[in-house]
Amino acid sequence: MRYSSSRKADTRKRILREAAYRFRRNGVEGTGLVPLMKALGLTQGGFYAHFESKGALVQASLEEALAQRRERWRDLGHDELAAFLADYLSKRHRDNPGEGCPLPSLAAEMGLRGNPSAATDEVVTQLAERLAGCALRPDDNGRGLVVLAALVGALSLSRAVSEQELSNRILEAVRLALQPGN
């Protein structure tokens, strides 16, 4: 059955959003195409009208996730920094990986599975540049990369430990250490 002309683009976008959510929440390997399509009220066969393979979806949805996130740091200046850090290192971000930054969720899996993507380089470079203003020591070279590494590591660890109190301490310690002025 053929649908209205804009429907294909709509469906593609719906698949992309759902995938971007699921990959971050359950990992790439932990996300199957059949349940994903079913969640959208579609069947698995229709997937290939929109994407060549699961790999192509991974690439596209990584970019989708980055695009969603990019707005958050697009106009990141010195004044917005504290708020940005508090948000990134919040319990909400920790407890909702599906809507969060893809780096803590997916960097390890991408690295181990030999799935490096130019999109990852782009987000690392761009985010590090924005963060450079909040360096631990403002004259450090590559200070933005250090801040980014601390953010990504803090989120990963805060999700992996079993004691909630330890998890909170990780987030709080990193937030305090990266606070502008520190």
- Asked if 174 and 88 count as a contact pair (C-beta separation under 8 A), the reply is no
Minimum Å gap between C-beta 43 and a second copy is: 25
- Which of 8, 10, 172, 180 is close enough to bind a second copy by CB under 8 A? 172
- Which of 21, 23, 47, 73 is close enough to bind DNA by CB under 7 A? 47
**Contact status: 26 vs a second copy (CB under 8 A):** yes
With CB under 5 to 8 Å by kind, the binding choice for 148 among DNA, a second copy, none is a second copy
Number of neighbours of residue 162 by Cβ within 10 angstroms? 6
Calpha distance 100→68 (Å, rounded): 9
- Which of 117, 126, 129, 133 is close enough to bind a second copy by CB under 8 A? 117
Calpha distance 32→75 (Å, rounded): 36
**Contact status: 78 vs DNA (CB under 7 A):** no
With CB under 5 to 8 Å by kind, the binding choice for 37 among DNA, a second copy, none is DNA
Minimum Å gap between C-beta 12 and DNA is: 7
Calpha distance 60→93 (Å, rounded): 22
Residues 6 or more apart in contact with residue 19 via CB below 8 angstroms: 31, 36, 57, 58, 60, 61, 64
